[in-house]
Chains A and B, each alone.
Chain A
C-alpha cells in the first residue's frame, strides 16, 4: 500500500487581510482571526459563551458578500477572503460604534469601569471623536442585585453576555432581557440578589461599566493597581487569580486565565474573600497572657514565651505533651516547618484533618489525596459517582466541569446525606442518613461484584447480607457502562464517621467498574499538608512514622499540655466545635498563630502570634491534581504581622533545632521538593487490605452538617460582602416533614438542639430534602459554634 498524504477534509484556507490561514471548516471568522492575532472589535462575542451576534461591532467585509458580515457568527469557507480594515469594514464598524454610543453615557471619568472598559477602548480605536447625537439619552433605573454586584444599567449596551453567562455557565438564569426595543433592560424583573456561587464573573464579562464589583467600586482606578499572580486560597482546585493591590493593600481579586483549571472563571468565594484581610480583628501585634490579661509585647518576648512553653511541656510531659492543629489552607512552607518543629521536639502530634473523625486505615492512604484525574478531564467523564459531596459549594470549579459533562450526556450520580440542588441534571441520587450512605455504597459495590471469592474475608462477610436496591444497581450499571467513569469522595464523606469504610467500598466500586478513584480534597492545601507531613503518621515526603502521633480528633478529645493552633479557629474549623474549643481552653499552654485574634481566641490563648495572611506571604499550594503552584507575597501584612515561615524559622532557631536557617521561603519549598517532589497519589495498599468495620450504626437522630461555602476558613468568614449573601445565612435546623411529625415538632418555630453537654437554640425548618432520621445543621456558623460533632448523634426538643 502506498502511503497517502494525510487529508484533513475539515480544513479550509481563508485569507484575512491578505494573509492565508488554515482553519477548521465551520469555525467562526472571529476565532480564526483571534488565533492569528488579527484584531476584530467585539462586544457580545465571548469565546466561552454561545454566539449571540447582537452587537454588530465585529462587522467585516467578506469578498462577494453583499454587505458586511458579523465575524462572530460567520463560518469560514474554503477560499473565503475577509477584510477587517477595508474602507467598507471600517465604515461599518464606525457606524455601529456610533449607534452604540447613542444611548451610552459619555461620562467615563465618573464610571468605575473607566480605564478598563471595552467600549472606551474600542470607541477610541473605531469610533469618531465627536458625537452627532444631540437628543435625549435613555436612562435605566437600577435594581439591587445583592451585596456583590453593583449596577449602572444606563451604561448597558445589551450585549447579553451576563445573561448568557448565568444561563449557560452558572446554570442559573437569573438575569433576562426585560421589555422590548428602546425599553429593553437587563434585569431580574422581581428584585432579588443574584444567587449563583459564580455570580461575580458577570463583572468580568460585562464589556462596559454596567456591572461592577460592589465592594471594589469607586475605591481605585485600574491604572493605579499593581497586579500579582496568585493562587486561590479556599477550595482545592488551585484556581489562578490575580491580586490587584494599591499601596500594599489588596483592592480586588480577578481571575487569571488557566484553561486547564479555572478557564477564565473564578468562584465568588475566591473573588471576594480578600475583604477578610481587613477585618477588625486582624492580629497586629504579638501578645502574651499575663494573669488574665493579654498584653502586646515585642516579637522576641512572644517567641521566647512560645519556646519556653513548648520546652516546659516536653520536659514535664514528654514529647507527647505538645500538639499542633494546622489549617489546610496554610502554605506548604508553613506546614512543612510546623512539621519539622513538632518532629524536632520529638513529637508526631500534628494534623490538618480538622473535620475528619475516622482515621482508621490512614496508613494505606496515598501520599496525598487527589482527584485521580486532571481537573480538565472532569468535563469528559461519561459517568461519575460522587459520595458525600455538595460539590457545587465545596469546589465550584469542579462542579462547573461536571456540569459540562452532564450537559453533554454524562451520568452524574450521587450518594448524599442531603438532597442538594445541582445546576446540572443528576442521573441518579440516593439520599440517606450516614448509615444508609454506607449501605448504599455497599449495595453499589456488591452490584458490581465486590465481596466475591477474591475479596478479603472481612469484605465478604460485610457484603454477604447486602442486597443491592434498584437505585444502587442503576448506579452500578451506569458506572460499568461508562468508558470514562470516575468515583469521587467529597467533604461529607471525609467527615463521615465511617470514612474509611466508604473509601474502601468506593475503591472497590472504581476497581470493579473500571473507573478512576479520587477525592475532592477539602481545602487549598489539603494535598500539600499530606506532602509536608502535617499528619501524625507520616513525615514530609510521606515517610511513615512509627508509632504514629495523635490525630486531630485525639488531640481534641484529650488535649496536649501545649497546643499550637495555626490559623485554626476551633469553634468553626473542627469536626466537634464544642470539644475543640474546650480543648483550646483545657491545654495548659495554648499558642494561637494566625491572622486573627477573635474574642474566643483571646479567651483561650496564652500567646498570640500575628501571622501574615493569604496574599501577604509567599508560598506554595498543592491542588487536587497534585500540582505545586507557588506565589509571591503581594500585600503588606498589618502591623507587626510576619509571614508564617519566618515566624517558624525563628522559633526553630530559638528551640535550638538544626537546619532552620532558611534565607527565603523558596529554600523551604526546595528542601521539601527534594524529599517529596516525586510523590504520586498512588494508594499504599490495595483496597482489599482494608478492614471493614462499620461504626455508623445509628440509633436515634443523627446530625449532619457541612461547613457552608462562605464559612469554610477564617479568611472567608470575615469577607464582609460574602457574609451578606443568602449562602452565608446563619445555621437553621432542618428536618424532614415526617421526622417533624414524629418528634412532635411540626409546629415548632425554634428547637433546642442537644449533643451531649453541648446545646443551642436554632430556628427549625421543615425541609423534605433531609432524609428521615437526620437533622441538617451546618457547621462553622455562629449559631452552631457551641454544638458538638457536625456528623453525630443529636436530639431535639421544642425550645422553651
Chain B
C-alpha cells in the first residue's frame, strides 16, 4: 500500500535469505492470495530465526516489502508480541511468567531470584551474551504448573530456586 516507501528504497525484501523466503512462502500459500499479510507473524518468526533471535529494522522492512504491507504495520506486530524481539538478545531467552496465577504462587520471588542470580534486570542480557531475561511475560497458559517459565520456548513448571539453578546453569 505504501508503494512510495517501497519504491523509494528499492524494496528491502532482499534482506531475507532464500531459505527464509522459502519458509515464508509455505505460510503465504495457506492464505487467500489477496491476504498475503496474514503470514506476517510466521514471517517475522522466520526472519528472527535467520538473525539469531531478534529482528533488525531492516528485517522488519524486508518482511513488509515481501508481503506488500506498510512497514509501520509490521513494526506494530513485531513490537506487540513478546516472542518477537526487536533488540539484540542473548543465546537463550528466558521468560518468567508474571501473570496472576504465577504471581500468587511465588512467581515474583522467582523473578527476583533470577535477577539476582544473573545480575541483570528483566529486559536485559547477561554481559556474556548467554541469557536474555524477557520483560513482563504475560500468562503463558500453564497456570496449573505455576510458577512457570519458558526457556527458548520450552516450558518449565513448579519452579523453585533449586530447579531454576539447575535449568539455567545447564545453558551454554
Contact = CB atoms under 8 A, between A and B. Distances in A.
Given A178-B79, A179-B79, A421 B4 contact: yes
A15 to B, nearest CB: 40
Given A180-B79, A189-B79, A190-B57, A173 B7 contact: no
Question: Interface range on chain B: under 10, 10 to 19, 20 to 34, or 35 or more?
Answer: 10 to 19
Interface in A150-202: 167, 171-180, 188-190, 195
B99 to A, nearest CB: 12
Contacts of B4: 172, 195, 421, 423
B72 A188 contact: yes
A500 to B, nearest CB: 33
B1 A176 contact: no
B42 interface: no
B76 A171 contact: no
Nearest to B80: A180
B1 A173 contact: yes
Contacts, number: 46
Contact of A173 (B73, B79, B80, B82): B73
Given A167-B70, A173-B70, A179-B80, A189 B1 contact: no
Contacts of B5: 172
Given A189-B79, A190-B57, A173 B3 contact: no
B2 interface: yes
Contacts of A177: 76
Q: Determine chain B's interface SS by DSSP, over half rule.
A: helix
B113 interface: no
Interface in B18-34: none
A190 B2 CA distance: 15
A172 B2 contact: yes
Among A171, A172, A189, the most chain B Cβ lie within 10 Å of the Cβ of: A189
A263 B2 CA distance: 23
A190 B9 CA distance: 14
Contacts of B1: 167, 171, 173
Given A173-B2, A180-B80, A421 B7 contact: yes
A421 B3 contact: yes
B102 to A, nearest CB: 17
Interface in A720-775: 769
Given A189-B79, A190-B57, A176 B72 contact: yes
Interface in B115-162: none
A178 B75 contact: yes
Contacts of B73: 173, 176
Contacts of B70: 167, 173-174, 176
A423 B7 CA distance: 13
A175 B76 CA distance: 9
A529 B158 CA distance: 83
Contacts of A769: 7
Nearest to A419: B7
Nearest to A195: B4
A503 B148 CA distance: 74
Nearest to A179: B79
Contacts of A171: 1
A177 B78 CA distance: 11
Contacts of A178: 75-76, 79
Interface string B29-46: 000000000000000000
Contacts of A179: 79-80
Nearest to A421: B4
A195 B2 CA distance: 11
Nearest to B81: A180
Contacts of A172: 2, 4-5
Contacts of A188: 72
Contacts of A167: 1, 70
Contacts of B57: 189-190
A176 B72 CA distance: 6
Nearest to A420: B4
A571 to B, nearest CB: 29
Contact of B76 (A176, A195, A421): A176
A422 B70 CA distance: 15
Contacts of A175: 72
Interface in A572-601: none
A423 B5 CA distance: 11
A140 to B, nearest CB: 14
A189 B75 contact: yes
A173 B1 CA distance: 8
Contacts of B7: 421, 769
A174 B72 contact: yes
Contacts of A173: 1-2, 70, 72-73
Q: Which 3 A-B pairs have the closest CB atoms?
A: A176-B72, A189-B75, A173-B70
Given A173-B73, A178-B76, 13 more contacts: A167-B1, A171-B1, A172-B2, A172-B5, A173-B2, A173-B70, A176-B70, A177-B76, A178-B79, A180-B79, A180-B82, A189-B57, A195-B4
Interface of B: 1-5, 7, 57, 70-73, 75-76, 79-80, 82
12 contacts: A173-B70, A174-B2, A174-B72, A176-B75, A177-B76, A178-B75, A178-B76, A178-B79, A189-B72, A189-B79, A421-B3, A421-B7
